[in-house]
Every structure is written in C-alpha cells, then in structure tokens.
Structure 1
C-alpha cells in the first residue's frame, strides 16, 4: 500500500489547437507490384505528439481542441483508441491534414490541407473547455497552432494568467508572438528552440552566451524556467538562479522531428509527479533523445526513457560576459553538475 501511494500518475491537460491527420505512404513489400505502397494513418500535430509521449510515460492525458468535418471524426476515433481523453470543441470548417510520401527515404509533402482560423464562438468554447479541464489537472501544457493564425496570441496569455492565478504548473511549447505573450504572464516552463528565439527577434545569435542572455531576459519577465533546445547540441536550462546545459550520450537519429515535443511531454509529466525543474528537464531531455531513434513521432517506452534520464548530466554555465567584439560569451565547467 505504501509503494502504491508513492506512485502518482499525473493528470495532464494538453491544449491542441490544430489536431491533424497524417497520411504516410511507405514502400510496399510485394515484389509482384513494384508500384505498390503501404498507407498509414496517424493523428498528428504538436499537441497530439506531446500527448502521445505523455501517455507513454504513464500520465493520464486529456487533449482539448477543435474537431470537425470528415478528418475531425476520424481523428477523434483514433485518439480514443490511444487511451486519450478528448474534450472536443465543434469546428465547422474541419481539421487539417498532411499526405507524406516516404518511398524515397525522405519525407516529401504531397498535399497539405490547412486548417482555417477558429471563429469567435469556437474560440470562446475552446477557452472555456481548456480552462475548466486545466483547473482539474496537475499540469497544463500549451502547444502552438499550425498555422499560427488559427489562434490569436492573446488566447495563450489569457490562459497562462488565469491558470497561474491558482498556482497550477504550466509548460508552454510555443513560438513567435504566442511565446512572447505567454512569457509575459509567467508560465512555469517556456520551451523554445534556438531557431524560434531568433525568428521571434529575441536573440541575434546562437552561442550559449547569447541564448543564455535571451533566456534570462524572458525569466526577468516572469518565466520560471526557459528550456532552449539547440538541435543536436545540449539543451540549455535557464532560471533566475542558474544556467545549465543538459548533456547526455550522443544518439544517431532516424527522424529528428518530434524531439522537442517529446521533451515537452517529459518535462510536464515529471512536474506532474512533483519533480523539481532540473529533474524534469532531465526526463524531458531523455524523452527527446530517444524519440529521434524511432520512426514514430511522440513515441517511446517509459522504462527506457527513465533509465536514460539517469545518463543526462547537468553542467553549470558561467555567467554571460562580453568578449572583445561586444558579443555575449559563456563558459561551462569541466564536468557534470548536480541536480538542484
């Protein structure tokens, strides 16, 4: 009984503004039909990839998003079969979809049905749905929209403000104006890539020092922790107290897509379990690293990810200094630091 009581299954609410249907064309394996192909259907979009990884890590996950049209009906059924709870808001225009051809080895987009902007009433319904669900969850996860015009940036800032008013943890994985608006209201964790920071005009460089400086500016605005992914380089964790790099074993990727979403899921699940920021970042880094070794986005095995997290070291970053050219520079210590 004591062991069962110690294990907490966190409940996550994931805002999924643009659930998508992914149609994947893979090479066929019938020699009699050289032009044949295998077709696979998957639910996709940032929010759903985050949700799938969170399920793999043992969380109870509710996704809140707009579902409508033929594609929306298919998506809702597929998600129900993946043990996700769906809080669907009617979407008169219908969901978007991709058709990808992978017979040549790479992923080639053959068609993209773009979801339109939500109407005023659909936005109101979605906001109320997410807010009520978030207040009954351990962690709220905010995923961005594709394209961004589906949701106005103020939608995210309002949600962060209202949910943080009752001290609920919020993990936001956003870019562009949505990230800026959310940052101003103080989410627990804001995850952005170094490319997203540059595209948003929050930094002009990609060095550790320049990214550290950008992260600190956002922390000064109210973000509790900035998690800055750097493609194949160690992720940077910036808080008011410290800046640290998450350093782990090098892995050979099969598909680099989905690493950031898996990282977000790992962080959210760990926070929902009651972990500190450093421990949460470690689990996120492990989930992201192992996901790129697989062909399925937002997939992984909990036991492997949690063991791999033990291989993630944390290195302290020395305070930002200006070099002779006036650019930000930073150094790291010689070895892994300790979790704080």
Structure 2
C-alpha cells in the first residue's frame, strides 16, 4: 500500500449549522486543505499520516475528531488559538458567523513540527506540502526548506500552494504541482485565467524549472496538464455539483494516490479529475466513493496538446 505524508500545519475546526426537519442541526468536523487531501487519500486506499499542530480548546476537539478519520495523526500540541469557523447553512448558502485564523507557530513549536515531518517521511512514498488556514501561521521559507529536505531524503514532493509559499517551495525543489487558474492570476503569472494559451505558457514555464508534472485546475472548464509524460487538456464528465469546496484538494489527493503507488501521469490525472468531480457531488469535503471515482476516471479524456496523439 502506498504511503503518503501530508504536512498540514494547522487544521481548522469547522462548525456548521444546517436545517433538518425544521430544526437546526450542528455539524462538527475538522477541515483545511491537508485534512481534505488526507480524507480523500484514505478513500482511495492510501496509507496516510497527517503531521499537524493543534492549540487551545478548538485544537483539543479537532484532535479527537481527527482520530476517527482513518489516517494516522502526529499532532504537535502548542499554546494559543487554533483556526476555527462557525457557518450557518440553514438558508442554503454559507453565512459566516465566526472565522478565526489562529495564532502563528512559535519558533520552538515550528521546530517540533518540522522534526516530526522529517521523522515521519522516513517511509513515505510521497509527501504533500499543504498550506495553513492563516496567512501568518508560519513563514513561507518553511516550504522551501521542507521541499529541499524531502527531496534530499529521496521523497517525491507534491505541493498544492500559491503565492509566496509556492515560490518558496519551487526554490526548494518540487516534483508535482497542483495550482488553480485563479491562483496563477493572483500570483501575476497570467493576466487572464480564462485564456488557455496563457495558462499553458505559465504551466510550461513552471515545468521548465524542474517540476515533472504541473496541473492547472479550472473548475468546470477542466484542467490543463504539462508534464514529462504529456501535455493535455483534461475533460471530465460534467456532474451536477452540490458543493465545490474541497474539489481541488480532492484532485490533489487523486494525483498523489496514483503517483505514490508508482502509476503513470495519465492515470494520476484521470484519477485526480474524477476525485474532484465526485467530491463536488457530495456535502462532505474531501470525500468520495472509490469505486465511483474509478468509474468516472475511466470516462476522463486527455486531449493531447501540441499536436500530440490523444490518449
């Protein structure tokens, strides 16, 4: 079984109020990019360890909830406040009530988190570096150091980052990158996120820096992939979405599940696209039925760009 390490600096405690038979129903879960990725990886059959930090009362609750997720958790306990939110969905749309980004990690807390990541990477086939909820949770340079050290230890590094964290990770060295078209616009790499030619040029530029596979997701428009095994426009079945949040993280998990097991880029991309599509049909973020994902993956078309033969 392929083993994946997910670096998730500070998971977020999510409290959502929904309507059930005319009464309010309260749901407590743990979320955030790394948790959603780990959840989908477990659904796809990977052996997952999540390295994170938890703080305060919200962190205590989050740690207990993480214990039931099906992956192993290595949590650094720290002082302060963990990220958390309370959303009201009784009207159909999410209405934020409270959103707390949490407090930054101290130097010693970061040292403990970094050491735990190094230790747990010893038998990982692939390492995902995911971002925290709060912008100030930890310095971007941590991602440069981690990417560099993971590759020095012979681990495949997949990042799902943007902004300064992405730039730092690329400097350290990355094998696989998943990024959205909105993030490329925000980072100034493209001017028009709907312009396929611009997105393709940006992906090629990143790949030329030594990244073996670059996947640019475009929501319903499908993704564009540039890699050592091919350059494709990815077309997946258009499933009716219920909640699109977590779809990008599910895509990342699909990529990781195949690549960690030694699979091809084509199979990884098909699985990623299918995992994102299936996640969007559900209310649970980072969730999906493995058999449904495999069935959809078989319907994902890779349209070769640059006049290559379609696969």
TM-score of the alignment, normalized to the shorter chain, above 0.5:
yes
Aligned to 1:37: 24
Does residue 197 of structure 2 align to residue 209 of structure 1?
Answer: yes
Does residue 15 of structure 2 align to residue 27 of structure 1?
Answer: no
**1:289-315 residue CA offsets vs partner (Å, 9 max, x unmatched):** 111011110000111111211111101
Q: Does structure 1 conserve the Cα–Cα contact (< 8 Å) formed by 2:12 and 2:133?
A: no
Aligned to 1:50: 37
Structure 1 residue 110 displacement after superposition: 0.8
Q: How does 1:189-268 map to 2 (within 5 A)?
A: 189-206=176-193, 207-240=195-228, 242-268=230-256
Does residue 91 of structure 2 align to residue 104 of structure 1?
Answer: yes
Q: Does structure 2 conserve the Cα–Cα contact (< 8 Å) formed by 1:234 and 1:246?
A: yes
Task: Give me the whole-angstrom Cα distance separating, in 1, the residues matched to 2:79 and 2:260.
Answer: 34
Task: Give me the whole-angstrom Cα distance separating, in 2, the residues matched to 1:58 and 1:231.
Answer: 25
Task: Give me the whole-angstrom Cα distance separating, in 1, the residues matched to 2:6 and 2:158.
Answer: 10
Task: Give me the whole-angstrom Cα distance separating, in 2, the residues matched to 1:239 and 1:172.
Answer: 15
Secondary structure of the corresponding residue to residue 106 of structure 1: coil
Aligned to 2:132: 145
Aligned to 2:110: 123
Select the residue among 4, 12, 34 that pairs with 1:12. 4
Task: Give me the whole-angstrom Cα distance separating, in 2, the residues matched to 1:203 and 1:157.
Answer: 23
Unpaired segments ≥5 residues, structure 2: none
Structure 1 residue 267 displacement after superposition: 0.6
Structure 1 runs (4+) greater than 6 angstroms displaced: none
Supply the RMSD in Å over aligned alpha carbons: 1.4
Unpaired segments ≥5 residues, structure 1: 1-8, 31-35, 319-331
Q: Does structure 2 conserve the Cα–Cα contact (< 8 Å) formed by 1:160 and 1:182?
A: yes
Secondary structure of the corresponding residue to residue 148 of structure 1: coil
Q: Does structure 2 conserve the Cα–Cα contact (< 8 Å) formed by 1:184 and 1:221?
A: no
Secondary structure of the corresponding residue to residue 149 of structure 1: coil
Q: Does structure 2 conserve the Cα–Cα contact (< 8 Å) formed by 1:216 and 1:240?
A: no
Structure 1 residue 151 displacement after superposition: 1.6
Task: Give me the whole-angstrom Cα distance separating, in 2, the residues matched to 1:220 and 1:135.
Answer: 29
Q: Does structure 1 conserve the Cα–Cα contact (< 8 Å) formed by 2:128 and 2:157?
A: yes
Structure 1 residue 208 displacement after superposition: 1.1
Structure 1 residue 28 displacement after superposition: 3.1
Task: Give me the whole-angstrom Cα distance separating, in 1, the residues matched to 2:196 and 2:118.
Answer: 36
If the length of structure 2 is used for normalisation, what is the TM-score? 0.96
Aligned to 1:73: 60
Q: Does structure 2 conserve the Cα–Cα contact (< 8 Å) formed by 1:16 and 1:143?
A: yes
Task: Give me the whole-angstrom Cα distance separating, in 1, the residues matched to 2:259 and 2:35.
Answer: 19
Task: Give me the whole-angstrom Cα distance separating, in 2, the residues matched to 1:84 and 1:75.
Answer: 14
Task: Give me the whole-angstrom Cα distance separating, in 2, the residues matched to 1:241 and 1:292.
Answer: 28
Structure 1 residue 145 displacement after superposition: 1.5
Whose Rg is larger? 1
Structure 1 residue 240 displacement after superposition: 4.9
Q: Does structure 1 conserve the Cα–Cα contact (< 8 Å) formed by 2:38 and 2:50?
A: yes
Q: 1:265 to 1:145 in 2, by over 3 A?
A: same
Q: How does 1:297-336 map to 2 (within 5 A)?
A: 297-318=285-306
Select the residue among 162, 179, 185 that pairs with 2:172. 185
- Higher mean C-alpha displacement, 217-226 vs 241-250: 241-250
Q: Does structure 1 conserve the Cα–Cα contact (< 8 Å) formed by 2:82 and 2:102?
A: yes
Aligned to 1:6: none
Q: How many residues in Structure 1 have an aligned counterpart in Structure 2?
A: 310
**1:133-169 residue CA offsets vs partner (Å, 9 max, x unmatched):** 1232111011111222212111111111111123311
